[in-house]
Amino acid sequence: MRRYRCGKIVSTIGPASSDPEKLEGLFLRGVDVFRLNFSHGAHEGHAKVYESIRAIGKKYNCHPTILADMQGPKLRVGTFENDRIILETGDVFRFDLDPTPGNTRRVNLPHPEILEALHAGTTLLLDDGKLRFEVTECGNDFANVKVLVGGPLSNRKGVNVPHVKLNIPALTEKDLKDLNFALDLGVDWIACSFVQTPEDVENAKKIINGRAGIVSKLEKPLAIEALEPIVEVSDAIMVARGDLGVEMNPEEVPPIQRRIINTCHRMGRPIIVATQMLESMISSPSPTRAEISDIATAVYCGADATMLSAESASGQYPYEAVSIMSKTVEHVETDPFCARRVEDDEQVPQRTTIDAICTAAKDAAEYSCASAIVLFTEKFESVVRCTRLRPRVPVILVTESPALASKSGLCYGIYAVCEKTFENKNFDTSVMTKVAKDLAKTHKFAKDGDTIVMLNDLQGHSIEICQL
């Protein structure tokens, strides 16, 4: 379906949006990428959602993208005798491996990997950072701490350990089962949580073995320290601002977000900005002005996609949230300052043939006032090399591969058309030109008298400026 924006919208699917009618409604209102969150739900439910999304694609002759998000290791304390305690600032407390219910003096921390990595002076955060502790003494089976910021603490609240590398794999046993199930379904992307090092990504890629792209979720300060190596081995990146904002000072997150986006632009990786973008719309039909500004900032910085989480998964107004995000992205992109700002982060082409031809196509489109670039390719690398340059016009991807068409739906400005266009691999220029013109008109990107740029990456490399 023709979108009048280049930035993509990722929508998390949950109880508020999982039935076929709701999924179709989300798609019609602007969702490009459907996120299946494997932290919740059973395999059977995810399979039904997957089939419904693919059915929507067939109905509208398009290729919605499906992202399966792995839960990753969930670090939590145990339980309490009375389910809940109150800790005061200055109290002394203890975490240990004893599985018995805790009290105001101690609680079980069923993660020996955390205890082994601690040292005196380490900071521990609980319940999304609401409670803060400093380790005063520790061993392999305990940690004595001082309460720096107190408050209520209840059963199984989450634990964060900033700036400490934990000897925990990014993919748990549950994740491996979920991963294989998602790959068997045929999802386009796998998102990996708790990425700390490039090795975490490499290990996941060995298992995935090219069956889907891998999105590395950056939610640990350690991942930021290894930003370029992680981006290099990933196929795409997500700025997971939830945990990142817990483990870092809040004021540090915006410049890091910009740094991640710039790094992804330079290295040619799609980038998703996620978490709390329209948080108030979980329970309100209207957003705050600050939330709209947050979406606009991501667009101005050049993000490929912005994401809805609970807003569309469990919120009361999933349709409204998608519509408002879509309108915001579309309107911001019409601002001439938006294109100039993205271009200020100059993307220097690499010294490769595909970079040379993509740069030429972008310039040809701009100086000929073209309505679109029509890209013929079967390579995802060519798609991302083209879109990283942020041409000012949409890019119509023409491919015979349904997998490439739906995978490319995450990328900025890409509109995928999957057709068996060339019989006997007849890539005659006149034939390709006719196909490019017909597709641009059929999909309402151009009309008679308009100009398009055809970029051929199927047989050699060439570009042509065509007038309809």
pLDDT tens profile 418-464: 877 666 566 678 888 899 999 999 999 999 999 999 999 887 788 99
Percent of the chain with pLDDT over 70: 96
pLDDT level of residue 386 (50, 70, 90 thresholds): very high
Task: Give me the mean pLDDT over the 151-163 stretch.
Answer: 94
The identity of residue 453, as a single letter, is V
State the amino acid at position 428 in one-letter form: D
pLDDT at 345 over 70: no
| C-alpha span between 400 and 386 (Å, rounded) | 18
Helix (H) or strand (E) holding 123: strand 123-126
- Residue 336 C-alpha from the chain's centroid: 26
For tokens 């308009």, name the residue.
Answer: 450
Report the alpha-carbon distance of residue 451 to residue 437 in Å, rounded: 9
Question: At residue 233, does pLDDT exceed 90?
Answer: yes
Judged against a pLDDT cut of 90, whether residue 27 lies above it is answered with yes
Tokens of 109: 């921390």
- Return d(Cα 8, Cα 307) in angstroms, integer: 9
Taking only the tens place, the pLDDT of each residue in 273-285 is 999 999 999 999 9
Confidence label for 397 from pLDDT (cuts 50, 70 and 90): very high
pLDDT of residue 351 exceeding 80: no
Q: How far is CA 31 from the centre of its chain?
A: 13
Lowest mean per-residue pLDDT among 218-232, 348-362, 393-407 = 348-362
Can you give the pLDDT at residue 393? 92
Does position 86 have pLDDT exceeding 70, yes or no? yes
pLDDT averaged over every residue in the chain: 93
Outline where 309-428 has alpha helix (H): 310-313, 318-333, 336-344, 353-367, 380-387, 402-407
Confidence (pLDDT) at 459: 79
Query: What backbone torsions phi and psi does residue 218 show, to the nearest 5 degrees?
Result: -95, 105
Say how far apart CA 330 and CA 324 lie, in whole Å.
Answer: 10
Report pTM. Answer: 0.93
pLDDT at 278: 98
Mean pLDDT of 202-219: 96
> Which positions ≥6 away from 144 have C-beta within 8 Å?
92, 93, 94, 135, 136, 137, 138
Q: Is 80 exceeded by the pLDDT of residue 340?
A: no
The answer to whether residues 309 and 275 touch, using CB atoms and an 8 Å cutoff, is: yes
One-letter amino acid of 468:
L
The confidence score (pLDDT) of residue 348 equals 62
Give yes or no for residue 115 having a pLDDT over 70: yes
| Whether the Cβ atoms of residue 76 and residue 99 lie closer than 8 Å to each other | no
The residue among 98, 58, 54 whose CA lies nearest residue 79 is: 98
Q: Which residues pair with 307 in a beta bridge?
A: 10
Neighbours of 103 (CB within 10 A): 11
- In terms of phi and psi (left: phi > 0; alpha: psi -120 to 50; beta: otherwise), the region of 20 is alpha
Return the sign of the alpha-carbon dihedral for residues 236, 241, 245, 251.
positive
Q: Tell me the C-alpha distance between 215 and 8, whole Å.
A: 15
Cβ pair 387, 416 in contact under 8 A: no
Distance, CA of 107 to chain centre: 35
Q: Do residues 19 and 76 make contact, with C-beta atoms less than 8 angstroms apart?
A: no
Q: Which of 13-22, 328-337, 407-416, 426-435 has the lowest mean pLDDT?
A: 426-435
186: left (phi over 0), alpha (psi -120 to 50) or beta: left
Nearest to 388 by CA among 422, 352, 334: 352
Sign of the Cα torsion 413, 188, 269, 240 reads positive
- Dihedral, CA of residue 398, residue 400, residue 402 and residue 404, to nearest 10: -60
Query: Residues 6 or more apart from 262 whose CB is under 8 A from it?
Result: 301, 345
Kindly give the interhelix angle for 20-29 and 318-333, rounded to the nearest 10 degrees: 20
Task: Give every CB contact of residue 217 below 8 A, 6+ residues apart in sequence.
Answer: 69, 72, 191, 192, 193, 194, 195, 238, 240
Say yes or no to pLDDT of 346 above 60: no
